[in-house]
Structure 1
């Protein structure tokens, strides 16, 4: 009986023995007859066969799991990483997560998801990650925005933003628990709205780009002494990320690549159970994003391991980190002067001294110690002079009451910029003016024109902005007058309106201070390459802390956009911006300026004309005639915008909606109040009272216009 059992077992197992576990094929040649012979030597063979079979079946999954549980890249040549956005692998093996293109993001993923839990719905097990990175910027002291190692449930990101959101999230989902993202950020720009500690820190992020823990970049040596690190120094550095399943402890360590041994003390730690964050399986990878300054975020090597230390990266095999060298125009001068000095030393020395004096006078700048504490980049006057070819008229974009605006190309980064040159004598102190300018320079929103930096020279102040290739909105609204621009369709106008509203909401409520723009009008709304609206020209803006009252100041702005209470109190506040926004809404829909003059020289107000048509039931007739083809299908939207504009133009500040409420009206999240043209509370002139068909009327106090300072015309 035992013999038959052994024979049957051998017969069943024999087809698999030659392949399972790499057993010698000779074992598969043992026949059932051999088992049938109850020989002592065959009993030993049978026992050995069983042992080898179980070992092969047990070791196979262990080897397979080992491959899944760890990897190491010492350079990325020939790898099959999943890339998107600006990410790329260079011929020499560098992983450039961003390639230097401004305002862009990129992602790089390990090609397959990893099992972070030993069983379904189990706890996230311990893991260790190591990577070597470097940052190259066109400026030695400035780069934006940062990069991150992350673990996520998905390997495709949509509706994410660059800049401070690092290509991982956006302003809508930042902080949502449904993101299922764990990240370690390498941040080189201080975003105050995200509570960043400085512009050179390492942070631990959970479902948000606002870190749960962060520390200034640096490392502890063997003696426990802390040394600072500059992340954008152009030097290669190594990062270790460790998670302890038992203690639910996250630890992040960083050190220069020259430090061979991992420092014993981590830079930043946090206690957080990642089982509540990650979804199994999950993808691992890198993300980075840039802002207005050309910056490359590069990974040179990467390793990961589950339940053990990350494999050692062979630093000898890593590709070299590229170094961006800033152009130096002085070397050209030396090449010219040196041959002359050889031929005539005395004449050359005199000429050189003369040239140096002239150049210093030409590019002389005013610098004070207090300026070092402020945020935006300070450009040299020389760079501004070269960018605009000496401020030639062929680069002139426009002229306003506060100076001229030129198009320029930065000599180093080749970035297109707009340079506003303020050359008049400022009434307020230059120090206070620059303090306010650099404060506004920290504003970062997709619907605001970004202030990149500034330059001071004697009594001149140069402001450097993002260049908007499609110019200002008023050039499109009044193209019949100028004959230079095509007509904007309704969808484009509605998107522009909502973009400006989003920008104003950020200024009024979402930034660290309340910012009152004080000059909202079509000519100050600029359009980028994709016709997105960017609110610009913050020359009149004022800031104050949330929860405090604005200070009284002299009235500035543009006639037709000024709230009535400004002439009485002189206090610019969010409701005064809302009033100007209401005039802007009517201007965009009707393609008419808020105030015009008829043939007799009388002032005609756009708001009164719109109110008259609403009263007569013909509100749609106020829309731009060029929109008649569109307005038939979007009549409700056009009427909604006109009514919101009239509501914003209410004479009483308390009756005007906030910008948050305006956006809710425009998005149809909140219904518009039931209003009639006779119940808006506008004043009515005596000559119309009691007359049939009389309409609400917004009076313009003509006696006060001549006393208001800082006013500009309807443009």
Structure 2
């Protein structure tokens, strides 16, 4: 009797397991019953379009029923496999949205998930939480240093957060030669992905290949990890995608999935075709107006010639043969003229020593941009300058204003940037009490600018020296994130070489003393300017303020005097009220003093600045600062010198002389 019951129980368990084995295939999505969310939609020819021509948005598509992932007898995760064909099409050949992710999640709603770098999966609060119960295969096209991304073109396996457990550059291994071939995810070409979880080995394999290429035998990447603690008994499967500041369409053309077995092969010949990404269809204006032109041929011909000549002069551009290699980064002057409504004053965002900045909406794609007009009387060095501008356009960091391209016309250069709706930071510091920022917002901005400068100095392929770090060059996006802008003064030079000497440019109060003496800018001069910026934001005061015709208030000396009296918090912006974190304010003020030291070798690098602000390393105690007869000084024997010697970085070599803070700033302005 017991034997029969055991057999019956085994049959029931096998039946239940078999009943839970999901197996589906979509060779196109013309009649698919998927659950869509966000801006995801089906096109008329059966393509799953996760994102459209909209910025800062997300799209989800999930199989509507829950999928049973676990064996009821032992709680282990079943083997499963899936394959899908995708394509990423961007308006620019080298810029894009953030990519696509195949997702296994406990909730298809993903409430609170953010677009951009969070892929529509997580947000700042829950990213990395073990309670998320999310497994994602990311096809990532933007390098986010906060998530330790390896590059801007990779595949990764993510567990409960955007920091990949393992990742590898996009490509595949050829079966015969075993040679690795790179693939560009944002090429606009169709590609196929295979994802397989082997329940017995507890291993996840991910394979990538071009469209119509059989599945390679060697996977692109593998992760040995038991998913039983991450995957619940029942989960949803589907896709998530998001856009940033660049308009990008993320497509899925076909998809199959199976529990306990190999997913069915897609019939590639039946998959829908990608929409053509060519120029828009011509309007019928010519056809409608042709009879009128024929009636008044002579008048129209004369008017047309006059109009053509005037228009050609109006929109004349300077294009030389060497510029052809920079084609994708060049905008038409006509488009910029239309975007800014003829560079009208009502579209003016601001003006400075290097040009006027206008708001515009590009007529081709409705993208909001900021257009800066820079006068350039001499053609000497223009080729090198344009090459530098194009190189800077490849910089990608969430705390840098994206440089989209340029245009040349007569004696001026036009630079096109991503538009920042909340303007520059200085108006929030000095246009009070009309508008201001609380401490939490200011601290977030300062950490963001520090991260951006660290990327420029150490994380990109070349060293970029900004040379004009200040509050008016920090712009705020829609979420009040600080973005460092105005690369008009930036200089590039290869890692390990000295920057070329140039004439001194910058802003009084932010110039390092060695910069004015030698004319050489370096990462150390940027750190000096960043120190002035920290004090400026924390105190709500400019680095140098005129008190009378004969006397100026030097901000760094004033902060130092407050510290010396034992009450450094006295220097904080009174508009902060009582809503601030005292430890953070004290850290920022002391770090501002450290960065403002006259000796460049005594200043920290931006790597250490970021680590201090993020509390990754402790900030050393500063002691034994004293006053000398010549003014405020840093005593070389102890205090700040102890700080400089407490790290092994080459920048912390200490200094053998005392340096006046006031003297540093005043000499920097001469």
TM-score by length of 2: 0.77
Question: 1:565 aligns to what SS in structure 2?
Answer: helix
Match of 1:709 in 2: none
Contact 1:375 1:441 in 2 (8 A): no
Give the drift of 1:391: 0.9
In the alignment, is residue 270 of structure 1 matched against residue 217 of structure 2? no
Match of 2:297 in 1: 345
- Structure 2 CA distance for partners of 1:371 and 1:682, relative to 1, 3 Å: farther
In the alignment, is residue 621 of structure 1 matched against residue 570 of structure 2? yes
Give the stretch that moved more between structures: 611-620 or 526-535: 611-620
Query: Could you tell me which of 534, 537, 560 is aligned with 2:486?
Result: 537
- Structure 2 CA distance for partners of 1:668 and 1:471, relative to 1, 3 Å: same
Match of 2:29 in 1: 75
Question: 2:371 aligns to what SS in structure 1?
Answer: strand
In the alignment, is residue 672 of structure 1 matched against residue 624 of structure 2? no
Give the drift of 1:395: 0.7
Instruction: Please show how residues 33-72 of structure 1 align to structure 2 within 5 Å.
Output: 58=11, 61=14, 65=18, 68-72=21-25
Match of 1:712 in 2: none
- Structure 2 CA distance for partners of 1:307 and 1:672, relative to 1, 3 Å: closer
- The 2-side partners of 1:271 and 1:502 are apart by 30
- The 2-side partners of 1:546 and 1:342 are apart by 65
In the alignment, is residue 129 of structure 1 matched against residue 82 of structure 2? yes
Match of 1:100 in 2: 53
- Residues 625-657 of structure 1, C-alpha deviation per residue, up to 9 Å, x if partnerless? 3223435xx333323322221111111112212
Q: Which runs of 5+ in 2 are unaligned?
A: 176-180, 634-658
- The 2-side partners of 1:241 and 1:195 are apart by 21
Q: Which runs of 5+ in 1 are unaligned?
A: 14-52, 221-226, 256-261, 687-694, 707-715
Contact 1:128 1:240 in 2 (8 A): no
Question: 2:21 aligns to what SS in structure 1?
Answer: helix
- The 1-side partners of 2:193 and 2:555 are apart by 63
- The 1-side partners of 2:459 and 2:113 are apart by 19
- The 1-side partners of 2:582 and 2:382 are apart by 50
In the alignment, is residue 495 of structure 1 matched against residue 495 of structure 2? no
Give the drift of 1:401: 1.3
Query: Could you tell me which of 252, 256, 259 is aligned with 2:208?
Result: 252
Match of 2:474 in 1: 525
In the alignment, is residue 441 of structure 1 matched against residue 393 of structure 2? yes
Give the drift of 1:241: 1.9
Question: 1:640 aligns to what SS in structure 2?
Answer: helix
- Structure 2 CA distance for partners of 1:131 and 1:613, relative to 1, 3 Å: closer
Instruction: Please show how residues 237-636 of structure 1 align to structure 2 within 5 Å.
Output: 237=190, 239=192, 241=194, 243=196, 251-255=207-211, 263-264=213-214, 266=216, 269-270=219-220, 272=222, 284-306=237-259, 309-311=262-264, 331=283, 334=286, 337-371=289-323, 373-374=325-326, 377-426=329-378, 429-480=381-432, 485-630=434-579, 634-636=581-583
Match of 1:43 in 2: none
Give the drift of 1:324: 6.7
Contact 1:403 1:424 in 2 (8 A): no
- Residues 67-125 of structure 1, C-alpha deviation per residue, up to 9 Å, x if partnerless? 624212342756353x6655456798653322332244444344534548899597984
- The 1-side partners of 2:55 and 2:668 are apart by 47
- The 2-side partners of 1:69 and 1:460 are apart by 63
Give the drift of 1:536: 0.7
- The 2-side partners of 1:377 and 1:116 are apart by 51
- The 2-side partners of 1:271 and 1:530 are apart by 35
- Structure 2 CA distance for partners of 1:283 and 1:253, relative to 1, 3 Å: farther
Question: 1:539 aligns to what SS in structure 2?
Answer: helix
- Residues 636-681 of structure 1, C-alpha deviation per residue, up to 9 Å, x if partnerless? 3323322221111111112212223223333444333222472599
Give the drift of 1:404: 0.9
Question: 1:558 aligns to what SS in structure 2?
Answer: coil
Match of 2:636 in 1: none
Question: 2:517 aligns to what SS in structure 1?
Answer: helix
Match of 1:18 in 2: none
Match of 1:259 in 2: none
In the alignment, is residue 662 of structure 1 matched against residue 618 of structure 2? no
- Structure 2 CA distance for partners of 1:581 and 1:90, relative to 1, 3 Å: same
Match of 2:662 in 1: 698
Give the drift of 1:609: 2.0
- The 2-side partners of 1:61 and 1:449 are apart by 58
- The 2-side partners of 1:209 and 1:363 are apart by 52
- Structure 2 CA distance for partners of 1:563 and 1:304, relative to 1, 3 Å: same
- The 2-side partners of 1:228 and 1:618 are apart by 58
Match of 1:223 in 2: none
Contact 2:58 2:241 in 1 (8 A): yes
Question: 2:663 aligns to what SS in structure 1?
Answer: coil
Give the drift of 1:435: 1.0
Give the stretch that moved more between structures: 374-383 or 674-683: 674-683
Match of 2:584 in 1: 637
- Structure 2 CA distance for partners of 1:595 and 1:575, relative to 1, 3 Å: same
- The 2-side partners of 1:677 and 1:487 are apart by 36
TM-score by length of 1: 0.73
- The 2-side partners of 1:252 and 1:454 are apart by 35
- The 1-side partners of 2:218 and 2:408 are apart by 40
Query: Could you tell me which of 100, 103, 106 is aligned with 1:148?
Result: 100
Contact 2:172 2:208 in 1 (8 A): no
Give the drift of 1:294: 1.4
Give the drift of 1:685: 8.2
- Structure 2 CA distance for partners of 1:376 and 1:623, relative to 1, 3 Å: farther
- The 1-side partners of 2:530 and 2:277 are apart by 45
Give the drift of 1:300: 4.0
Contact 1:254 1:266 in 2 (8 A): no
Give the drift of 1:318: 7.0
Give the drift of 1:539: 0.8
Contact 2:142 2:396 in 1 (8 A): no
Give the drift of 1:489: 2.1
In the alignment, is residue 183 of structure 1 matched against residue 137 of structure 2? yes
- Structure 2 CA distance for partners of 1:336 and 1:598, relative to 1, 3 Å: farther
- Structure 2 CA distance for partners of 1:233 and 1:359, relative to 1, 3 Å: farther
Give the drift of 1:531: 1.7
Question: 2:520 aligns to what SS in structure 1?
Answer: coil
Give the drift of 1:538: 0.9
Question: 2:487 aligns to what SS in structure 1?
Answer: coil
Question: 2:488 aligns to what SS in structure 1?
Answer: coil
- The 1-side partners of 2:310 and 2:667 are apart by 52
Aligned length: 625
- The 1-side partners of 2:29 and 2:252 are apart by 8
Contact 2:597 2:664 in 1 (8 A): no
Instruction: Please show how residues 169-180 of structure 1 align to structure 2 within 5 Å.
Output: none
Give the stretch that moved more between structures: 430-439 or 91-100: 91-100
- Structure 2 CA distance for partners of 1:361 and 1:682, relative to 1, 3 Å: farther
Match of 1:212 in 2: 168
- Residues 669-699 of structure 1, C-alpha deviation per residue, up to 9 Å, x if partnerless? 433322247259996389xxxxxxxx96521
